[in-house]
Amino acid sequence: MSETRTRGEALPILVLSTTALLAAAFLPMLHVAPNRLLAGVPTSPHTAWLFAAWGVAIVCGAVRFRGHGVVVASIAWLAVAGLPWLAGMSADTILDGAARTTRVQLASGFWVTWLAAALLLLDRLRGTRVVVQAGAWGAALAVVVALTVTGAFDGLALVREWQAQRAPFAQAVVVHVRLAAITLVLAVLTGGPLGWWVWRRRRADGIVVGLLAFLQTVPSLALFALLIGPFAWLARAWPTLGALGFGGTGAAPAVFALWLYALLPVVRYTVAGLGAVPEDARDAARGLGMSRLQVLWRVQLPLGWPVLLAGLRIVAVQTIGLAVVAALIGAGGLGRFVFLGIGQGAIDMVLLGTLGIIVLALTVDLAFQVVLALTERRA
């Protein structure tokens, strides 16, 4: 039994290191393209180094000598921080003497290897103290930021694309965050009371949640597209609304659709949060002479807060993802980069938008986790 357990514990090391090794062996690290739009030729410099590093990690997972965990964690950390540096150096070497339009793009091998390394680091750091985890990730981030500032990645197509579109990109991030934030505030302001009402009268639960689940099923593109007609009509019927920038396309129908999608989770988690408060606590508060609103404000909200916050975290990440599609009806945001990139066949532009969205979603997710941890500690 203990035999299987120790073998099992090394499984993540073996699986992730083998994935990284295979990716380094069979997938291209970089694509060298003659310009921004044409397809590239795959190249894989540094394969021998990567092979050696992941080979050592696999041996560590298989043999498990004393201290093998530290070795594997070091390899993972070095890969997370060092792979981009290697790619940047290779790009500079390739670009040396090449035509000015030449682009060196990060290819599938790089992404798979890097992701495997990040997951391996995540796995190795689990169980260590928060300080160690934050330190390791912070140091890796610091290295990458420092290399970016010193221009080590300037040869990479992704960075060139960003440098060429710095202002529109920053603006797209702002628009994206604004769309998500307005949606979230609206969803909480309406979904919170709705959830409270549903919680008070259990029978309304079926109808309200059923209706919202029905809306959730309709594909986002269809809902966004169907709202164009009614919103254009509204803007025509009330010109004041149209003057305020309210119309068939743009932010108004986008926020409306995002709000509809956000309502279901907000209502569900509000009901769950209110239900998470024990009846005894409510009875006791009522016995102390509190009114129903006071009970809600001073007992149920503080006690049900963690559940609500967990729900908001899910809604926030979902909204950031859905807002990408909103670019198709002219709401802007990072989705614009993705769709413009698709239209032009410029893969770097798509990648830039995508990375922006992923980083945004992960940042918001992390922020909610931190707030959640802080409130839980206080409680």
Interface residue list for another protein (CB under 8 A):
4-5, 7-12, 15-16, 39, 108, 119, 122-123, 126, 214, 217-223, 225-226, 228-229, 317, 320-321, 324-325, 328-329, 335, 338-339, 341-342, 347, 350-351, 353-354, 357-358, 361-362, 365
218 conformational bin, left if phi > 0, alpha if psi -120 to 50, beta if neither: beta
User: Parallel, antiparallel, or unpaired: how do β-strands 41-43 and 103-106 relate?
Assistant: unpaired
In terms of CB distance, is 258 or 296 closer to another protein? 258
Nearest approach in angstroms of CB 198 to another protein is 18
Q: Are 352 and 337 in contact (CB under 8 A)?
A: yes
Strand partners, 104: 32, 156
In terms of CB distance, is 219 or 289 closer to another protein? 219
Residues with Cβ within 8 Å of residue 298, at least 6 apart in sequence: 285, 290
Nearest approach in angstroms of CB 219 to another protein is 4
In terms of CB distance, is 40 or 192 closer to another protein? 40
Nearest approach in angstroms of CB 368 to another protein is 12
Residue 52: exposure state from Cβ atoms within 10 A (0-12, 13-18, ≥19) = exposed
Q: SS3 for 186?
A: helix
Q: What is residue 104's DSSP assignment?
A: E
Q: Alpha carbon of 202 to those of 197, 205, 290, 303: distances in Å?
A: 9, 5, 23, 20
Tell me which H or E stretch contains 30: strand 30-33
Nearest approach in angstroms of CB 132 to another protein is 16
Nearest approach in angstroms of CB 369 to another protein is 10
Nearest approach in angstroms of CB 351 to another protein is 7
In terms of CB distance, is 82 or 341 closer to another protein? 341
In terms of CB distance, is 4 or 240 closer to another protein? 4
Site of tokens 């310009």: 35
Site of tokens 């690290």: 29
Token pair in block for residue 329: 């009806």
In terms of CB distance, is 91 or 350 closer to another protein? 350
In terms of CB distance, is 290 or 328 closer to another protein? 328
**Calpha distance 50→79 (Å, rounded):** 9
Nearest approach in angstroms of CB 11 to another protein is 5
